[in-house]
Amino acid sequence: MAFTVLAFASCSRQVHTYVPNQANVPLLKEKNEFKGNVSFTNWQGAYAVTDNIGIMASGQYVWRNMFYDRDSDGDYLLDPHVRGGLIEGGVGFFKPIGTSRRAIFDVYAGYGNGSFKTVDNGFQYDSIQGNPDYLLRTKFHKFFVQPSFGLSHKVVEAAFSTRFSVVRFYDQTMGSKVFEDNESRRENFMRLSDKAIPFFEPTFTVRVGYRYVKWQAQLLFSVPINDETYTGYQVGDFFQPVSLTMGVSLNFGQWVQDAGK
């Protein structure tokens, strides 16, 4: 399924009004454990309230202008002009498996709210705010359920997650020159709010380091499930289909425990 998304997305440069946030995959093991993740575009935290119940919070802010030339069209997977993000929170159940407690199963559910804006490819770079005729905006509610299975060691952690997100867009706005030569695409953009859109988001997370601090990399695919919603345009037209993030993972709970010994 992921290769299909890549094939669609590589056909043309995209205008994205929704960028999936990094999945929060804490792999908690015990009460009072706290983990945080920090990358250029995502900030996350998770805390174990009991030996089996955890809470999480995540923030995202995407701003790519600094990474592209002024007149750049970006690449075939990323829209260089997209800006925005979300804030979300969740609660879940986690369970270490086996006597070694290195294998972990968890499942979290939660809600988020956010918005994105970008510009049509016909726009000549000045600033997003300075070109309202080419500007697209969306706001959205997001609900998610995220089961994960992972292995946690003091040096390496790895996890596979299958996040299911349901996104409800609202308050879309579009400048007068957006897709001005493609009326069907203008209509498709405004139809995004007709009904909630489900996404299947398989995710691979790897952390490497020692005890308190690890380097983290995550690969996430975001696949819209209901194809009928997208009749007439490619799946990557408005939704970024692939996300690769890198950053730092911090295990504050382990740090505090070791300091108290």
pTM comes to 0.84
155-212 confidence digits (pLDDT tens): 999 999 999 999 999 999 998 888 888 888 888 888 888 889 999 999 999 999 988 8
CATH topology of domain 33-259: Porin (2.40.160)
**Greatest extent of the chain over all pairs of C-alpha atoms, in Å:** 68
Chain-centre distance of CA 168, in angstroms?
15
Give the tens place of pLDDT for each residue, 35-77: 999 999 999 999 999 999 999 999 999 987 655 554 555 555 7
Q: Which residue has the tokens 């997003």?
A: 128
Strands 135-152 and 34-39: unpaired
Which is it for the CA torsion 161, 194, 13, 65, positive or negative? negative
**pLDDT one-digit tens code per residue, 116-154:** 999 886 665 555 555 688 899 999 999 999 999 999 988
